[in-house]
Structure formats: C-alpha cells, structure tokens
Amino acid sequence: MANLWEEKFSQEGYLYGEEPNEFIREQAWRLEGRKRIVAFAEGEGRNAVFLARQGHDVTAWDYTQSLDKTKQLAERHQVRVETGQKDLIHDSVPSEEYDASIMVFGHFLKEDQKTVFDKLVSVVKPGGIVMLEVYSEDQLSYGTGGPKSVDMVYHPADILQWIQGYKVLHFFYGEQGRVEGKGHTGTGHVIQVILQK
C-alpha cells in the first residue's frame, strides 16, 4: 500500500490540488483560538498549509515521501508546517498534545480504522476538536475518487459507535461535491464528523 501512495504522490503536481478540502475550509472557524493542530494522513499538505495560513501551528503526518511536497507548498505560501513520517496504524502518537486534529480522506483497512480514529482523539487535549471527512461505502458506486475496495472505506454505523460519549458538534452522511485536483472530482458520498473531546 505504501508503494502505491509513493507512486501516486511522486507524479508532477498535486494529485488532490493545492486548495484545502471544502469541509475543512467551511469548518475552519471552529478551530479559532486552537493554536496547535495535527493533520493525519495529510498527503501533499493542502489542508495543513491552509490551516498554517490561518495562523495555526500545524504538524502534518503521513507515511509517504509526499511530505516533501507539503514543505514546498508551505514555502510557496510563506508559512511553516512541521512534518513527520508516521505509520498511523503502528506508530505511537503523543498523548493530549494538540488543540485539534484533522483527517481528510485517510483511508485504512476496516480492521485498522478504529485504531486510527482512537489516535485522532488521543492526541487532542481535553476540550479539543477532532474533524474528519472520509468516503462512505456508498462512494464505490460514484467513481469520483477514493479507494475501490469496500474494505478501505467507512460505514456510518461504525463511526457513530466510535463517537458515542463525545460531544458531537457535526455529523453528516451523504452526497457532497468535491473538486480536488485529479484525485477527487465530482459528486461523492462522504461521512463528516466534528467532535469535542
């Protein structure tokens, strides 16, 4: 799997464009006053750089060399993003160090999805915010981006189970238009969550 992503991200340009995910752009106001943010499975850095441009101290984690593109994009926008190569399934993450965490289209095998979700929550301080947008299983019939296997997308019932006990600020399951480079273009089917720890 790592080699697949290395290959995709090694191509010229930015596979998912240089602009942030629309969900992150629309919901960024929730992050005001939250200085330290970590972006999981951040790929080429479009969301991390956007949040750095809003004045946040941003760390981007990914397990590919795409983090080099993150640094280049940050330099172009005259901001700094700290990067770290991390296997989000197997590597440990710091506990309660960040004010918020985000993950956009971080797709993992079903058996690993809750592990990554738990880490998204554990890195955030009490009162912190967790934001994610992922493709649902319904996305497979749309063909507008994302994994081609049902094992790599998310079921809303699973996510609803994981977020029980947290203050849920936003939950959405349905169609959204996305124009994100060559990787995601057109109407897709997503799950969005914003919770407060």
Residue-wise DSSP of the chain:
-HHHHHHHHTSSS-TT-SSPPHHHHHHGGGGTT--EEEEET-TT-HHHHHHHHTT-EEEEEESSTTHHHHHHHHHHTT--EEEEE--TTTS---SS-EEEEEEES----HHHHHHHHHHHHHTEEEEEEEEEEEEBGGGGGT-SSS-SSGGGSB-HHHHHHHTTTSEEEEEEEEEEEEEETTTEEEEEEEEEEEEE-
Residue 8 has pLDDT above 80, yes or no: no
The pLDDT of 151-165, averaged and rounded, is 97
pLDDT at 18: 83
The pLDDT of 122-136, averaged and rounded, is 98
In this prediction, residue 14 has a pLDDT band, given cuts at 50, 70 and 90, of: low
Task: Look over the chain and give the mean of its residue pLDDT values, rounded to a whole number.
Answer: 91
The pLDDT of 158-187, averaged and rounded, is 90
CB 54 within 8 A of CB 74: no
The structure's pTM equals: 0.92
In this prediction, residue 63 has a pLDDT band, given cuts at 50, 70 and 90, of: confident
CATH architecture designation of domain 2-196:
3-Layer(aba) Sandwich (3.40)
* Domain residue ranges of the chain, discontinuous segments joined by +: 2-196
